[in-house]
Amino acid sequence: MTPIEMLKSGTRACLLATLALSTSCRERAKESAPAAVPAPMVRDLAPNAMSGAPKGLLERRASSPVHWQHWEPATLEQAKQTERLIFAVLGSSRYPGCLETLDAIDRSRGLADRLNREFVPVLVDLDLCPEAGIAAAMLSQELKMPISFPYILVLSPDGNPVTWRSLPYSNSAGIETMFDEAAELVTSMWQESPGYVLKNSASDQDRRITNLAKPDSTPATDEERNGLLDRAIRQLGSLYEQDAGTMSGSGGLLPLGILQCLASASQDPDTPVEVAARSKQIVAAFGRSVLSSAMVDPLDGGVYSTRRGNSWDLPMPQRNCGTQARAVRALVTLYRATGDARTLEVALGAVRFAEQQYATEDGLFSNQRLSEAMSPANWLWSKKQIDEALAPQEAALWIALCGISEIGNLAPDTDPAREFFRLNSLGYRMTLAEAAAKLGLPVEEAAKLQESGRKKLWEARSARVSEQAPNPSASAGTSFRMVSAYAALFTATGDPAWREKALRLAQRSRELFTSGDRLVEVSPATPAPVCAARAFTYALAIQAGLDLAEITLDENWRIWAGDMVSVTAESFVDKEGRLLEARPEASPLRFPVESRVMVFDDSTAGLMRMNLARLEALGQPPPPALAPWLRSLPAFTTVPVIFTDSILAASFSRSRMVVHLPRNASEEWKEAASRLPLDRIARKLSSASGPKSVGPGGTEIPLSAPADLETFAAHPAP
């Protein structure tokens, strides 16, 4: 029985169970809870607070009839004064259904009035407050339900979760019904026994905190550490399913972390030879499969982050700048391992797409364009639409390239409901040379037809898909991520233009996103708690600073990155040693949330582990509060897919090589050193008498000529 059917049949107990409020709890409440308190004297809630909010999901609700409040500790005081529960809706315009759900709430005057009258309604943008999404994922595990957005999270005035669940969007009527019924049930519980709800939610939260995962353990010896790491890489490789062209357990996210981790492992001199060979084989085949699918848009070069269903041929249309930048960083590592020109081509296309779509007037980057609802069907094509948009020869080539057919090119298991019957996705299912041979065309002529057809198809799609307006508000995390993307492209191409772009962007980002000694997510940073940078953004900023130090050999960027590590240690590590995602003064949730696994993106823990290892390689030990994160290892062998960023960091930590150049080294030496891979080799100017590489055990290898660095990068001696 679906949630809608449960609601229609009046099976409230079932819905209560789904919302984590059990019938038995209600019975105990009747027996033991104090009498309901009188209605509070203060009933008026502050008006809609989204005017002047950060651009995007929040600011677009400034005219909503719902009195949306911000995700900040001050909201708890509002809840206490009005004696209400907090009804938080978690979402982002990068998740399908979130905008449609908010639109449905706005259209339902009765539901809007109910939220205003009975709750403190809070709207949470997960791009600004990722800790809310991580908490939702943790709470969903208690229900043994998958996490998806939009998401309802009801909090007590003390900041404790009362009830929660995902609400996947199906249609407006269904969402209105579910929201209204959920609000009614929660209201009934609160009015019946507010004392019990407060007591029970606090007790549950205390238990939840007590049962949080313990700190990761630190291997007793290097042998034990290396054994764990090698087994993790083997297990990661064993997840590859060649026939299906996918990685078991990787879900629907574009597997950038897996590709980057295995590509780096294949180049790691300490990886067992057979494991390195297998890793290279996997990333070559898997990378070719994914990068030739519809996950890479052949019309504009942009990369999609999520697929719909179980095939890479049906991506979700929502894209963002963070995915493009992360793809570039990972694909450059893949290019280093395989030498496949297609990989670098995709990386260049992704960064150009990011510049076209997300660059702001102040020289920075927003993560998304302004929110608009999107229909997946509008991104698909019938054969008739292809024929109408293109000249006959162009159509023949694109039909061959993408496997276009009258009945559609989506397999039945990709679209089991046949929602997209007779529609085709665009993704290269054969190479240009293969398509040209099939049609009997010279490759040069086919290339011209491909480009002229691409332009026409792009124009035809733009005519039927309303373009989202540019977002004038830049994002700190996204801008710092683009610094790393530019730096990676410089190491792969040697083109100094990429280094100049990285330098200008980093300098501008430091200026705009720094307030005192801390970072902010957006500027202007209002309201301050919502816009205070989270730990993940600090990790991205530190990575960008280290990347820039590597490609410029400017020590000042390493020093700045080290300063940001110190701020992270002071502001985000609690007394139990947890690396909190949000400072307590920035979040209303009484929950020490950590980003330790790759749920939606890289984890904060994985990024910080790599940052700490890179700083240590350059002679800067971590602050005491963060030192355990450098030596400890997560449970790699349990589910290696969700720890690929930490595996990558551990791999660098055990086999890091540092290239030392004398401070008076020639420009030729400096240029060659600056182009070394970012993930595996560090470099620095030092008091060395001559160029040399130094291994983790202190072993020194003299380097005689700048050309040696290219060979060293491909096959560094252990």
Give the model's pLDDT for residue 378. 86
Identify which of 622, 624, 644 has the alpha carbon closest to the alpha carbon of residue 634.
644
Q: In the block, which residue shows the tokens 């949080």? A: 212
DSSP structure string for 372-441: ----GGGG-B-HHHHHHHS-HHHHHHHHHHHT--TT-S--TTTSTT-TTTT-B----SS-HHHHHHHHT-
Residue 608: strand, helix, or coil? helix
Instruction: Please report the pLDDT score of residue 24 as a whole number.
Output: 36
Q: Which has the closest alpha carbon to 484: 539, 531, 525, 524? A: 539
pLDDT for 252 = 82
Instruction: Look up residue 175 and give its amino acid.
Output: I
pLDDT band at 715 (very low <50, low <70, confident <90, very high): low
Q: Where are the domains of the chain?
A: 3-210, 222-373+471-655, 376-464, 658-714
Instruction: Give the least confident one: 164-173, 209-218, 582-591.
Output: 164-173
Sequence length of the chain is 718
Query: How remote is the C-alpha of 285 from its chain's centroid?
Result: 24
Instruction: Tell me the angle at which helices 256-267 and 321-338 cross, rounded to the nearest 10 degrees.
Output: 30
Which pLDDT score is estimated for 575?
93
Query: Residue 162: its pLDDT value, please?
Result: 94
**Cα(623)–Cα(616) distance, integer angstroms:** 11
The mean pLDDT value for 359-365 works out to 94
* Contacts of 667 by beta carbon, 8 Å cutoff, 6+ apart: none
Q: Please, are residues 409 and 425 in contact by the beta-carbon 8 Å criterion?
A: yes
Per-residue pLDDT tens for 381-395?
A: 999 999 999 999 999
Give me the percent of the chain exceeding a pLDDT of 70.
Answer: 93
Query: Would you place residue 12 in the very low, low, confident or very high pLDDT band (cuts 50, 70, 90)?
Result: very low
- Two tokens, residue 80: 């206490």
Q: Express each pLDDT in 91-123 by its tens digit.
A: 998 888 899 899 999 999 889 999 999 999 999
- Please tell me the predicted confidence (pLDDT) of residue 45: 67
Mean pLDDT across the chain: 89
Which fold is adopted by the domain 3-210? Glutaredoxin (3.40.30)
Say whether 49 sits in a helix, a strand or coil: coil
Q: Which amino acid is at 500?
A: E
Confidence of residue 25 (pLDDT cuts 50, 70, 90): very low
Residue 558 and residue 509 in contact, taking contact as beta carbons nearer than 8 Å: no
DSSP of 536-593, one letter per residue?
HHHHHHHHHHHHHHHHH--HHHHHHHHHHHHHHHHHHB-TT--BBSS-GGG----S--
DSSP label at 640? G
pLDDT value at residue 22? 37
- Mean pLDDT within 131-151: 92
Mean pLDDT along residues 596-603: 90
Q: Three-state SS for 520?
A: strand
**Residue 337 or 7, more confident:** 337
Band the pLDDT of 412: cuts 50, 70, 90.
confident
Tokens 């989204």 belong to residue: 50
pLDDT digits (tens, 9 = 90+) for 451-505: 999 999 999 999 988 778 888 889 999 999 999 999 999 999 999 999 999 999 9
Q: Answer yes or no: are the C-beta atoms of 385 and 406 closer than 8 Å.
A: no
Q: Greater confidence, 143 or 555?
A: 555
Q: Which CATH architecture has domain 222-373+471-655?
A: Alpha/alpha barrel (1.50)
What pLDDT, on the 0 to 100 scale, is given for residue 420? 92
How does pLDDT run across 26-52, given as a tens digit for each residue? 444 444 444 444 444 345 567 899 998
pLDDT digits (tens, 9 = 90+) for 178-236: 888 888 888 888 998 999 999 999 999 999 999 998 999 999 999 999 999 999 999 99
Per-residue model confidence as pLDDT tens digits over 503-546: 999 999 999 999 988 999 998 899 999 999 999 999 999 999 99
Q: Which pLDDT belongs to residue 32? A: 44
- For residue 324, the model assigns a pLDDT of 97
Query: Pick from 572, 579, 531: which is nearest to 127 by CA?
Result: 531
For residues 640 and 232, is the Cβ–Cβ distance under 8 A? yes
Question: Distance from CA of residue 521 to its chain's centroid?
Answer: 15
Q: What is the pTM of this model?
A: 0.92
